[in-house]
Amino acid sequence: DFKGSAGQSFAAFGAKGISFQIEGEANDYFGKGLSGAHLAIYPHKESKLVAADNQIIGNVAFYGATSGKAFINGLAGERFAVRNSGVTTVVEGVGDHGCEYMTGGTVVVLGETGRNFGAGMSGGTAYLYDAHGKTVPKINIGMVDIDPLDEKDKQLLKKLVEKHVETTGSAKGKELLTNWDKELKRFIKVMPRDYKAVL
């Protein structure tokens, strides 16, 4: 376990069987090349900041990551999960160009999404919370479809949000789970067209 401010490339290439938890914040390239490790990051326990409204990790998190899980109680910068090919992650909001060139894995965004989401995305699935109808216009629909969730999606999503709360103490996650049936209707699924066709 770590406490404080982590620099660039924290837990880069972290292998299966390793678990990292940070109480604090981290810089760019968080989880770069992650290879099976489990990561969790959440604000300082004494912090008065609202995690869902404040950035906790930098840009280009999980660049080229191949496997593992990560739960982020706060916002991420730009190019979140760029070239992700297998990581499962939950985050409370992302900057521009999220899931760019993603080829696999699962990304759950519980808050706002920046512009040009899913550009060049050829694999994997993203679940985006769209409370006010502002998310869809920010998605680059060149290669992806925007779909409602099916029963399998709903079960997976709830399981991941529950794990996010258990791991990070996320207030946003707790709030969503309290009104789950209502909030579930505000999630959309983003999946590459060609990837969907071969499943």
> Can you give the pLDDT at residue 199?
85
> Can you give the pLDDT at residue 140?
98
Q: What's the pTM?
A: 0.97
> Can you give the pLDDT at residue 187?
98
pLDDT digits (tens, 9 = 90+) for 105-145: 999 999 999 999 999 999 999 999 999 999 999 999 999 99
Task: Write down the mean pLDDT value for the chain.
Answer: 97
> Can you give the pLDDT at residue 18?
98
d(CA 17, CA 72): 19
Q: Is the dihedral of CA 28, 26, 19, 2 positive or negative?
A: positive
> Can you give the pLDDT at residue 112?
97
Q: Which CATH class is domain 2-198?
A: mainly beta
d(CA 112, CA 117): 11
Q: Is the dihedral of CA 38, 44, 45, 47 positive or negative?
A: negative
Q: Which residues of the chain have pLDDT under 70?
A: none
The full DSSP string for the chain is -EEEEE-TTTTTTPBTT-EEEEEEEE-TTTTTT-EEEEEEEE--TT--S-GGGSB-S-SSTTTT--EEEEEESSB--SSTTTT-EEEEEEES-B-TTTTTT-EEEEEEE-S-B-SSBTTT--EEEEEEE-SSS-SGGGB-TTSEEEE---HHHHHHHHHHHHHHHHHH--HHHHHHHHTHHHHHTTEEEEEEHHHHHH-
Domain ranges for the chain, please list them. Answer: 2-198
